[in-house]
């Protein structure tokens, strides 16, 4: 049998041209970040040594009480002085008699040879 004729293809409508892409503007380069200088490490604090506790003061023992002094006996009263009697006046001496003059010696006669 005669072949059934193939219907002619429906023409494909021409494609609407895709508009050209607007070029993306080049990105402004981000400036490189200035590096942050590394921080100088804070030196560790020297620990404050703990204070040596002050030892409690040893209480001073109470002093031995001083015994009361022996009372000083009252002094023996000094007897009043006996008044010294007035001196008896010495009587005037007996006057010494004047010396008797010694008579002159008689000369011894010369010896006869």
- Rounded Cα gap, residues 12 and 93, in angstroms: 207
Residue 17: its pLDDT value, please?
85
Residue 66: its pLDDT value, please?
85
pLDDT in tens, the chain (113 residues): 788 888 888 888 888 888 888 988 888 988 898 988 888 888 888 888 888 888 898 888 888 888 888 888 888 888 888 888 888 888 888 888 888 888 888 888 888 87
Which two three-digit tokens encode residue 34?
């200035």
Which two three-digit tokens encode residue 1?
């049998």
Question: Residue 113 carries which DSSP code?
Answer: -
Residue 96: its pLDDT value, please?
86
- Rounded Cα gap, residues 14 and 104, in angstroms: 223
Residue 51: its pLDDT value, please?
87
How would DSSP label each residue in 80-91? PPPPPPPPPPPP
Which two three-digit tokens encode residue 20?
């050209």
Which two three-digit tokens encode residue 64?
């031995």
How would DSSP label each residue in 52-111? PPPPPPPPPPPPPPPPPPPPPPPPPPPPPPPPPPPPPPPPPPPPPPPPPPPPPPPPPPPP
From the CB of residue 20, how many other CB atoms can be counted at a distance below 10 Å?
6
């Amino acid at each position: 049998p005669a072949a059934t004729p193939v219907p002619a293809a429906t023409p494909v409508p021409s494609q609407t041209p895709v508009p050209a892409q607007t070029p993306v503007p080049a990105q402004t380069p981000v400036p490189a970040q200035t590096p942050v200088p590394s921080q100088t490490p804070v030196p560790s604090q020297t620990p404050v040594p703990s204070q040596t506790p002050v030892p409690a003061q040893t209480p001073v023992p109470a002093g031995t009480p001083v015994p009361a002094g022996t009372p000083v006996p009252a002094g023996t009263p000094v007897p009043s002085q006996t008044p010294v009697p007035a001196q008896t006046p010495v009587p005037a001496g007996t006057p010494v008699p004047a010396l008797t003059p010694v008579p002159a010696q008689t000369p011894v006669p010369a010896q006869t040879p």
